[in-house]
Structure 1
Amino acid sequence: MGRPPLHQQPNASLAYWMRRCNISNNKLAHLVTKRGADQGVTGLGTDESRVRAWLKGSVPRDPVPRLIVEVFSAESGLDLTFADVGLPGEDGPIGPRTPWTRAAALAALIQITRSQMMLPDTRTGPEAAQVLTGDQLLAPLQEWALAHPTNSQGPAPGASRRVGMSDVEGIRQITTTFRDLDNRHGGVLAPSAVLAQTQTVLAHLKTDTYTEAVGQALFSAAGDLAGVAGWTLFDAGRHANAQRTFVAALHAAAEGGDRRLGAHILQCMARQMSHLGHVDDALDLVSIAQYGARRHLSPATTSMLAALEARFQAILGRIDDSEAAAGRSLAAFDRVNPADEDPHMSFFDAAELQATLGMAHQIAAKHLAKGTARTRHVRLSADLVGAALAARPDHRQRSRAFDHLGLARTHLAADDVDGAAEEATHCLQMLGTVRSRRVTDRLGELYAEAEPVAETAPGRELRERIHNHLAAAG
């Protein structure tokens, strides 16, 4: 029957293709057996029960995965890969151990965008369970610090068209538009549109002709756009897909020789790891970004990475280390000139810095007993997050929702239940236009933190409103 994966999960990709091609369990078993027999493969014994096992996550023995890919390629009329049907094979799936070469970077981007476009939406726990952690993730990514563009030639002359820097600029403008939409409305509705645009960029890389300089710029632009796709997937709660997309984006950034973009993608991955509770991994990702781009970091990127370090250290209860990192972040931010920063760093303004450090102080307060030290951290948190909320530009709606939640949690830390309820109400009122699974997750944390005050009238009302929203959100 085959070997089950270490953490067996249902094969959603295989189920998708069976539905798309209108193939039942019995029909798939028959088609695989027949194709094998046509190729001289005997003794497969494939039946309906084995197909059910594959759908549950069991991995069939060779050569069955290849036969399954061939069956669905023939039935769909598409050139599918092992990854497309959710099975291991010579073409994937893409992960941290992908070689740091131009061909591998392009293959990673093509494979991840195609498979994401084909998969139905997922937004529940199994996605998070598939995320790589620890050495499985970190050890291969450390090689990014040594990766360089391979300087291979682009497609041969005679390709469909020649691409220039004006095309690259057009891609970057589209990426800016998608970033703005994500900031205004959250990532839940955006992944398919961003991935579809990424496929268009990949068509340039795969079929057009260009100079080496334009090729590197194209890879950088593709990596930036794929990074936005990964971010929207993360915001939508599609964590395993987001991580794979981030890795593909990092490979593209490396092939584009863009160290600053690589550091930015790594900090996105760090935020995801922290969100999922893998805080040590988050810190290691920040360290990889700081080391790998050490000669290229702009002041804003330096400040951002140190601010994240401050937050992650606070989560781990290392208050002194957190405050030291916050000091480095503030010092670097004093040197920021927005005109010199890359477009992907436009989000990191004074408000973002204040919100990040404000949350670090709020988290630090929770590690301390009642007293002057706790009071100091609570006050600093309220001041910083409040200042961030006041300074947020109108288009940063999801960030404003997070700011309201941050203030609510800070008020709870100060035993101000009325203040917490008021800020949570502001957040809930925004969720008609902001669709973000991350905001929903943070609401769940606020619900849990409010349990000690559940017997008070404002505490009970706060929890009821959050509960009703979470129930409606599914």
Structure 2
Amino acid sequence: MAGTSRTVKQPNELLNAWLTRASISNCQLAREVERKAIAAGLRGIKPSEGRVRAWRGGEMPRPPVPQLIADCVGERLGHPVTRADLGLASREPVDATPDLPWQPAATIAAITQLTRSEMMVPHTRDSADALAVHTGAELLLPLQRWPLATPSALTARGGGRIGRSDVDAIRAVTTLFREADNRHGGVVSRKAVIAQLADAAELLNTASYDEATGRTLFAAVADLGSVAGWMSFDAGRHKAAQGLFITALHAASEAGDRALGAHILQCMARQMSHLGHYADALELISLAQYGARRHATWATRSMLASLESRFHAILGQVGESEQAAGQATELFAKIDPAEEPPHLAFFDEAEMSATLGIAHQIAAKHDPKTSSRNRRAEKSLAFLGRALALRPHHRVRSKAFDHLGLARTHLVIGEVTGAHQETQTALDLFDTIGSKRVGDRLAELHDEAEPYASAPEAAELRDRIHHAVATT
């Protein structure tokens, strides 16, 4: 008989959701686990239907039973499923797939699992953590189901009843964390926002609410989850960030909020681009554009087009980049800020100008002709200069990125003095925030300045960057 190593009070919602998705009954799973155990030469593993009910109720089977269950479910579905996917891993996994059933119970369980296991450990884009993120088909194929997913029926729960004021409180806290992230970077408040997300997930799991309130609650938790993911991304916790983004996307799906889902996908696209997975970043933007095509606001459409321009430029698709930039500008002119949701407040003229400025910088960098390279660089400097002029005072990290963008554009055309001046300002700002992303961009600038290292200003620039990044 399969024994147990510990008992968990809460039902295993992930296992329940996957068994439902695979259409496997308790009796069928018991038979299949026994069959696989016999085939593997394992004796004494003969679970009953009652034992399967206990697993679904939260009992943790001893190894190797969790892997046998995962093999059974994966065989039925036709693709691999891990122990962690089924909620049967004893620690936070590094091999979990990014897929989840599009069901509220699974979404709540995944958020709870992520928030419970979080610890602050600094990483960079070259860390083992960054290398562990899901990419390519492994990431994109499960997310392709997002445009087709529909909100599930929300069932009543036994806890205290919550109302609109509770949802508004979560949204207010989300706004505070978003502002803190803009001012100070993601390192400082990451643990706090994850703790807040854990509390919000507990409300989803235990409170009683009607259908309308449930939808707005899922939306509020999705937005809070996107901020938690963004702070984790900014702190260099790439694996955790990806998991948070994916569960936030599921929560947005349960809320029926496609525009919020598109916002979360663009966050994921920025992370993929930061880690060098540019084709994946462009695919995520395309998925966001398709999935939210009937629901996206003008700001959402303009933001996605501006990022599309940037990623096309990185991939050397200059014509497509310029076309997307034109679309972004046209769509931006139609925005009415009063009609935009809070999560899009960041996308103002400064943000669009910065995004397009980087797109022109990248295009200039890869342009072999001096005359056209200089023209593109001039456009980049103009866009980035406008972004800086329009940035609100509290967007400290964004200002650091803008100055770094200007420095890198100056280097593209060999203007070492200009690069040195902008880098000095960026480093001053970097001293006031906790952002691994800014540190990564500084490291890129350090490498790009190497061809000019014989010039005193370039040598000093590289020394200051090395000192700043090495001591954080």
Quickly name the TM-score band, shorter chain normalised. Answer: 0.7 to 0.9
CA contact 1:83–1:115 (8 Å) conserved in 2: no
Map 1:2-21 to 2 at 5 A: none
Please name the residue that 1:388 is paired with: 387
Residue equivalent to 2:468: 469
Corresponding position: 1:355 with 2:376? no
Distance, in Å, in 2 between the alignment partners of 1:65 and 1:143 is 26
8 Å Cα contact 2:92-2:117 kept in structure 1: no
1:296 paired to 2:295: yes
Q: How does 1:158-169 map to 2 (within 5 A)?
A: 159=159, 161-169=160-168
Determine which of 136, 139, 159 is the counterpart of 1:137. 139
Secondary structure of the corresponding residue to residue 134 of structure 2: coil
Distance 1:96 1:154 in 2: 28
What SS does the corresponding residue of 2:145 show, helix, strand or coil?
A: helix
Listed as ranges, the matches of 1:65-464 within 5 Å are 82-83=88-89, 85-87=91-93, 93=96, 95-116=97-118, 119-124=119-124, 125-156=127-158, 159=159, 161-464=160-463
Decide whether the 8 Å contact of 1:154 with 1:215 is kept in 2: no
State the one-letter code of the partner of 2:123. R
- Aligned 8 A contact 1:84 1:115 in 2: no
Q: CA deviation at 1:122?
A: 3.7
Unmatched runs of 5 consecutive residues or more in structure 2: 1-41, 45-61, 69-86
The percent of aligned pairs where both chains have the same amino acid is: 53
2: CA distance, partners of 1:87 / 1:450: 39
User: Could you tell me how far 1:204 is from its partner in structure 2?
Assistant: 1.4
Q: Is the 8 A contact 1:411 1:417 kept in 2?
A: yes
The answer to whether the 8 Å contact 1:112/1:248 transfers is no
Q: 1:72 maps to which residue?
A: none
**Structure 1 position 61, deviation (Å):** 5.7
Deviation at 1:120, TM superposition (A): 4.3
Moved more, 121-130 or 344-353: 121-130
In the TM superposition, residue 84 of structure 1 has moved relative to its aligned partner by: 5.1
Q: Is 1:123–1:236's contact at 8 Å kept on the other side of the alignment?
A: yes
Which residue is equivalent to 2:29?
A: none
Residue 20 of structure 1 corresponds to none
Conserved in 2, the CA contact under 8 Å of 1:308 and 1:356? yes
* Contact 1:307-1:326 within 8 A present in 2 as well: yes
Q: Which amino acid aligns with 1:86?
A: E
Per-residue Cα deviation, 1:191-223 (whole angstroms, up to 9, x for no partner): 110011111111211111110100011011001
Cα 1:83/1:343, change in 2 over 3 Å: farther
1:189 aligned counterpart, secondary structure: helix
| CA-atom RMSD in angstroms | 2.0
CA, structure 1 residues 361+87, in 2 after alignment: closer, same or farther (shift >3 Å)?
Answer: closer
SS in 1 for 2:198: helix
The separation in 1 between residues aligned to 2:420 and 2:204, in whole angstroms, is: 51
Shift of 1:123: 1.3
Residue 75 (structure 1) aligns with: none
Partners of 2:92 and 2:412 in 1: CA distance: 45
- How far is the alpha carbon of 1:63 from its aligned partner? 4.1
Question: C-alpha offsets along residues 408-440 of structure 1, whole Å, 9 cap, x if unaligned?
Answer: 001111211011000000011112221100000
Contact 1:351/1:391, CA 8 A, preserved across alignment: yes
Q: CA–CA distance in 2 between the matches of 1:121 and 1:84? A: 20
User: Quick check: 410-419 or 265-274, which moved more?
Assistant: 410-419
Deviation at 1:42, TM superposition (A): 8.8
CA separation in 1, counterparts of 2:318 and 2:192? Answer: 41
My pick for the range that moved more, 147-156 or 320-329, is 147-156
TM-score computed with the length of structure 2 as normaliser: 0.81
Q: Alpha-carbon deviations, 1:83-134, whole Å to 9, x = none?
A: 451359xxx94x4320001111111211111122xx3424140111110000
Residues of 1 paired with 2:93 and 2:288: CA distance?
Answer: 31
The alpha carbon displacement at 1:152 in A equals 2.6
Distance 2:433 2:314 in 1: 27
**How far apart are the structure 1 equivalents of 2:192 and 2:449?**
37
Size of the aligned set, in residue pairs, is 396
Further displaced range: 356-365 or 146-155: 146-155
Give the Cα–Cα distance (whole angstroms) in 1 for the partners of residues 161 and 219 of structure 2.
18
Instruction: Tell me how far apart the structure 2 counterparts of residues 442 and 139 of structure 1 sit (CA, whole Å).
Output: 30
Distance in 2 between residues matched to 1:396 and 1:463, nearest whole Å = 25
- 1:46 is matched with none
Residue identity matched to 2:322: E
Counterpart Cα distance in 2 of 1:240 and 1:133: 11
Distance 1:371 1:120 in 2: 46
Q: Give the Cα separation in 1 of the matches to 2:110 and 2:379.
A: 44
- 3-state secondary structure, aligned to 1:361: helix
Other structure's SS at 1:439 match = helix
Write the letter of the residue equivalent to 1:364: A
One-letter code of the match for 1:439? V
Aligned 8 A contact 2:120 2:191 in 1 = no
State the alpha-carbon separation in 1 of the partners of residues 141 and 191 from structure 2.
30
Q: Is the 8 A contact 1:83 1:111 kept in 2?
A: no
